[in-house]
Amino acid sequence: EHSNYERALEGLDNLNNEQIANAKFEMAYCYFNLKMLKEAKPLFSEIQQLNESKYYLSANYYYGFISYYDHLYDQALKSFKIVEKDEAYSNIVPYYIAEIYYFQQKKDASLKYAESIPNKSELFYANELNQLMGQIYFEKELYAKAYPLLENYIKNTNKVSKEIVYELSY
């Protein structure tokens, strides 16, 4: 039994350039939803290089997400920076950007970026951003700044790691 995603992958003959771009995006999106990220990534990569394509921003987001998932943080950051201010992604991508800086050991850049995000409370990952910022403040021994962020994170989270509880009790 074929899903709609799988059927869509089968009908790609006799198309013009715009239709090919549309079809490639649809294919990539199907692969993405089937969690076939290896197959999706090169298709998103092709589309994210065509800045006149109507799928330019979406392809950058998905390419960035897959790169992030693959721990290819430079690639992910480049794509996320392209979409960070777009309305469709502006409440998701800033958290990933702050986290990537942290993963790259650029903690000052991570903190500076996180602090500069407008409307932090409206982010999809607002709670995780609080944790990230609290973690960096804690590592910098700025406990007075870390405490309210980590406390806020705990209040809004069901499962909390032992490390966070330890940091709060510090």
Decide: 101 and 107 in contact? Cβ < 8 Å: yes
Q: Could you report the per-residue pLDDT of 47-80, keeping only the tens digit for each?
A: 988 777 889 999 999 999 999 999 999 999 999 9
Q: Look at the chain and count its residues.
A: 170
How many CB atoms are closer than 10 A to CB 63? 28
pTM above 0.85, yes or no: no
pLDDT of 170 reads 52
